[in-house]
Structure formats: structure tokens, C-alpha cells
Structure 1
Amino acid sequence: MSIARLFPRSSFFRFLTGMREVQTRRPVTHTPAPPSIHRTFSTTPASLCSADANQNPDRYFAALTQNKEWAAKTAREEPDLLASLAVGQRPEILWIGCSDSRCPETTILGLKPGDVFVHRNIANILHAADLSSSAVIEYAVRHLRVKHIVLSGHTSCGGVAAALGNKQLGILDPWLVPLRQIREQNLDTLQSLSADEANTLMGELNVREGVKTLKQKSVVLEAIEERGLTIHGVMYEVGSGVLRELDTNDTQEQLKARLVSYKTEA
């Protein structure tokens, strides 16, 4: 059972298609990179780096080996890409998603380094007073001037499953409060579904609540009014690799009411 609607030709998916068709990257002209506080490091012993990643039982050292192979391949195939990223970034998408290892945003969108600014946490929950997500949103909207904010949930979410249960989870308990509120508000419907269906429905409802939270932020409302920033709620189907866009758009009347309310309170 799903309350989602699929929009295969939505503005966000048309935008993604256009990005994939671009073969050359425009020069980066703003947002210079700050001085780095990170040092280049090498693995020890060196033999672990040179070993075949597929034969190396240590996943971390294997990943470092694969990184070197990726960097060399990228330098050969797109010699200007990494050099341009060293100058600065100008992503057009802010992605807010779950920390789940199965949901790597750049990979599932078919995009490249520098294309997506990212914030991820357990179950892609947006707490209105959370400093971490608020700082990311502020920076992405006001300084990077992203064109799209994408809030993504996903199927088979462990955080959602935890919120559907009643176990004590330590520090996760206060974090999952918004999800458990959604559970209580929709308890009868959720109890009538299978575990997988309930997980998916909770994920969709969580995305919708997150979109509402985004639309309460002054920096977001200003960008919507002044330059047409768009917000999208999506669900990632882990089993198929496909994104579904939820119908989270405001009508013109709803958007106008939000803007009037914001200006009245300001």
C-alpha cells in the first residue's frame, strides 16, 4: 500500500537527465576551496596498498587501493574534473538522505563529484532545531545557491524499522521521536500492513514531514520566492535502484500562504 505518486517527467528528473547529457564541465568561477586542514596519508605497510583489492581481506586497505585506481582512471578520462574541483564547487542539488550504506546519492543519481551537496543522518529525519542539518541547508541555499533540495527516504530503512518497534535504543530514542510521532498518528493504518509495507509507508510519511520542515525555514522560503528554488521528496527503492518522486508540491495558494505567514512573522 503506498501513498506515493510517480512523476517520470518532473522538473527534478528532467534536470538530472540534462546533467547526464553534459559532456564537458563549465569552469568553476566561485566558492573557492578553503585552506585544507587535512593531510595526504599513505597506508602502511606499503605492500597492502599495492595488493590486489579483490585479494585483500582488509576492506579498508582494499578501498584505499581502489581509490588510487579511481583517481588515475578519472585523471585519464576527465583530466580537467579534479583540477576544477580543487578550485571550488557549485553543486545544483542539495541531497538530504539516510546514512544507510545502500543509498549513495552520487551513484544512484548517475552524477559526479561536485554535482551534489550532501547531508545524511539516521532515517533522513529533519529536526527543526538540529544545528547540523540547519547549517548544511543554510550554506547550500544561501552560499552555494543550489537550485534543488531533494529529501530522500528509502525502502527497508533500519531507522524506520526501529521507530516501528518499542525497544529502548539509547541515544537513538530522542532522535527517532519524530518518526514515532508519525507511527502513533497513523497506527491503525500501519498495523493493517505487512512489515515491508509499513516500513515503506512510514518512510514516505517521514519524507513528507521533512519537506514541511524545510518549507518552514526562512532561508528556504526566501530562495523559493526570489529565485525559484524547488524542493522534492523522493523514495529510493533499494531492491530496484529506482527513485520515486512523491507529490509534495504546494499549490500556488499554499505557497502564497507560506510566504505571507513568513513575512508576517519576520
Structure 2
Amino acid sequence: MITRVVYPFSSISHGKKGLQELLQRNKKWAHDVKKENPTYFSKLVDQQSPEVLWIGTSFPRRSTSHGGCHTGCSDSRVPANEILNLPPGEVFVHRNIANQFLSSDMNALSVLEYAVHALKVKHIIVCGHYGCGGVNAAMSQKEFGLVDNWLRSIKDIYSDNSTVLDRISDDKKRSDLLTELNVAKAVYNVCHTRIVQNAWQSGQELHVHGWCYRLKDGIIRDLRICISGEDQVEAIYRKMLEKEHPEV
């Protein structure tokens, strides 16, 4: 496995100059990678045999460490394969705001179908992110525009679990629990697609997991959600809904 080339945070200029800086950084990255492993890119061309589909989160948030706006959630700052210490090609990734999986999202459904039917992945991981901007936005009473429609389902999760969530006085802990419940709901929705149901019925090995990543220490929390067949879905989901405190 090639050692990841790590660059320090730095401000990127605005306008055309900033774009040129990005292109120059890409050239330096490619040069450094090839210098360390001359066959890296030639091997990568033919390498697409992942056993994992990663459904993660992506939400823009203002950076306080350096200028500009960057994607502020876990697997957007660091690629999923790096979080898992795997080389490129081992994880097939789908990201959206607040790692949701909705039956009306044709993009997510297409990714799922390709991963399950064509790539024959064995594991589907829904990985949330503590401190997720999408979850916090859904908890707030503010309006953010078009994204409010996308966050509607998280608001519904809060409403369905308001008895437990409203008992938590600490805003961060309340957000953390809602983040975990949102992961559980996404897992539930994935398991109820015909894509996954048909795979199980045909005897295909397929496991759906719920995880949460904490940016401040880089550790993934296993939410103890692992569903490997139709008969497990309801019981595991109900058990998740009985939680009164987050894992962290």
C-alpha cells in the first residue's frame, strides 16, 4: 500500500489564480505518488473490485482554520478508503448531505444497484458523522433554502423520537443521538429496497452496517447495526430506536 502524501492546510486564492493553484497541487501530488510507487497509476486503471459500498455524508461548512468554504464532514475531508486504511479501488463510495438513503433518490438507488448487482459487494456501510452540519441544520428552526426539502426526513426522525431526544438537555448529545438514529433509518431504508431484498432472496452474501465517525479522534463507532437478511431488519431497527444515549 502506498503511503498517503499529506499536505498541510493552506489558503487557496480566489478566482482563476486559485484554480491554477489546485491544478499545481494535483501535479505535485501525482509526481510524489509516482515517485514513491512508479506503477501506482497503471495498476489503478484496472483496479475496481471493491467489497464495500460506503454511504457517507457531505455537507458544506465554513472553515475556521483557514479561509474559504470546504466540505466539513468526516468522509469528505478524508476519503473513505483512507479512514479504513485501504488502497483506492477497495471501497465504492456514495455521498450526500447527512448520509441519507431515500426511496425517491434515483442517484442513490442507481449506486446501490450497481454495487450489489455488478460489483457484488459483500458489505454496505452507512457511516454518519458526529457534528454533522446536515443533522444540526435539521434540528434548528432556521431556513436554509432548497436543502430544507432534503433535510425533511431527518426532521421526521426527530419528530418520531422527540420523547427521547427532548429529554437530552445537552445540544451536542442530542445531535449525536439524532445522527445515530439517522444512520439507523438509512440502514433500514437500504434493507427495504428490492435491490437488497432480491440479493438476499437469491442467496447473495450481503451485510448492511451502521457506523458513525468522530472527527476529533478519527475513530469509527460501530453502532451494533449489522443486518444480513430480511428476518433481522425489524428487530435490529427497533432495538436501535430504544436507545436513550449516543455511543459517544
Answer whether TM exceeds 0.5 for this pair: yes
1:204 aligned to which of 180, 184, 189: 180
Normalised by the length of structure 1, the TM-score is: 0.70
Instruction: Output the amino acid matched with 1:90.
Output: S
Q: Can you list the C-alpha shifts for 1:210-237, whole angstroms capped at 9, x where unaligned?
A: 1111111122123345231111110001
Q: Structure 1's 250 and 118: CA in aligned 2 closer, same or farther, altered over 3 A?
A: closer
Give me the whole-angstrom Cα distance separating, in 2, the residues matched to 1:176 and 1:220: 24
**For residues 1-266 of structure 1, what are the structure 2 equivalents within 5 Å?**
57=13, 60-100=19-59, 101=71, 102-104=73-75, 105-193=80-168, 194-225=170-201, 226-250=203-227, 254-255=231-232
Give me the whole-angstrom Cα distance separating, in 1, the residues matched to 2:104 and 2:40: 37
Q: Which has the higher strand share?
A: 2
Give me the whole-angstrom Cα distance separating, in 1, the residues matched to 2:233 and 2:218: 36
Q: Structure 1 segments of 4 or more deviating over 3 A?
A: 53-63, 250-253, 255-258
Q: How far off its partner does 1:112 sit?
A: 2.4
Q: How far off its partner does 1:85 sit?
A: 2.4
Q: Which moved more, 1:192-201 or 1:223-232?
A: 223-232
Equivalent in the alignment of 1:49: none
Q: How far off its partner does 1:60 sit?
A: 4.0
Greater relative contact order (Cα 8 A, min sep 6): structure 1 or 2?
1
Give me the whole-angstrom Cα distance separating, in 1, the residues matched to 2:120 and 2:166: 42
Q: Structure 1's 92 and 78: CA in aligned 2 closer, same or farther, altered over 3 A?
A: farther
Normalised by the length of structure 2, the TM-score is: 0.75
Q: Structure 1's 178 and 56: CA in aligned 2 closer, same or farther, altered over 3 A?
A: closer
Give me the whole-angstrom Cα distance separating, in 1, the residues matched to 2:147 and 2:113: 25
Structure 2: any 5+ residue segments left out of the alignment? 3-8, 60-70, 236-248
RMSD, matched Cα: 2.6
1:243 counterpart SS class: strand
> 1:54 touches 1:62 (CA, 8 Å); kept in 2?
no
1:129 counterpart SS class: coil
> 1:224 touches 1:230 (CA, 8 Å); kept in 2?
no
Q: Which moved more, 1:184-193 or 1:201-210?
A: 184-193
Instruction: Output the amino acid matched with 2:180.
Output: E
Q: Between Structure 1 and Structure 2, whose CA radius of gyration is higher?
A: 1
Give me the whole-angstrom Cα distance separating, in 2, the residues matched to 1:253 and 1:55: 49
Structure 1: any 5+ residue segments left out of the alignment? 1-22, 25-52, 259-266
Q: Can you list the C-alpha shifts for 1:11-48, whole angstroms capped at 9, x where unaligned?
A: xxxxxxxxxxxx59xxxxxxxxxxxxxxxxxxxxxxxx
